[in-house]
Amino acid sequence: MTYATFAIEPRQQEGRLVLHLSGELDLAARELLLREGERHTGAAPIVLDFSDACFIDASVVGALFRLARLSRDRGGHLALVDAHAADRSIWRLTGYPEVCPVFVSLQEATAACLE
């Protein structure tokens, strides 16, 4: 779904469901991310790709903590991709990589889902 400042699009890539997130991911994106994430989270791995996000705020990271817990409770696996992770302080400040690893490429994330 595309909105004025952000988009969340489910795609099949490299044999995995990837939720591709782009634009400004703030409070306005949080509920849609939760809805899409909850709908797809289950036993099959899911990859969230933030590489095209220009902004990520704490409300979105809060939603990611919830999705990581839900995925674990349902026996699934959640992986996150952000090609710009080294430049974004949000991951370091929130400690999210301690709950769910943040990979710099889709290939790394999908390989981790196979382990």
Pairing, β 102-103 against β 16-25: unpaired
Q: What is the pLDDT at residue 3?
A: 62
Q: Hey, what amino acid is at 97? A: P
pLDDT of 97 > 60? The answer is yes
Q: What pLDDT digit, counting tens, does each position of 44-91 carry? A: 889 999 999 999 999 999 999 999 999 999 998 889 999 999 899 999
Nearest to 46 by CA among 23, 74, 24: 74
Mean per-residue pLDDT, 28-39: 93
Residue 77 tokens read as 């696996």
Q: Determine the 3-state secondary structure of 31 from DSSP.
A: helix
Q: Residue ranges per domain, the chain?
A: 6-114
**Percent of the chain clearing pLDDT 70 (strictly above):** 94
Q: Determine the 3-state secondary structure of 86 from DSSP.
A: helix
Look over the chain and give the mean of its residue pLDDT values, rounded to a whole number. Answer: 89
Residue 51 tokens read as 């590489």
Task: List the CATH code of the domain at 6-114.
Answer: 3.30.750.24
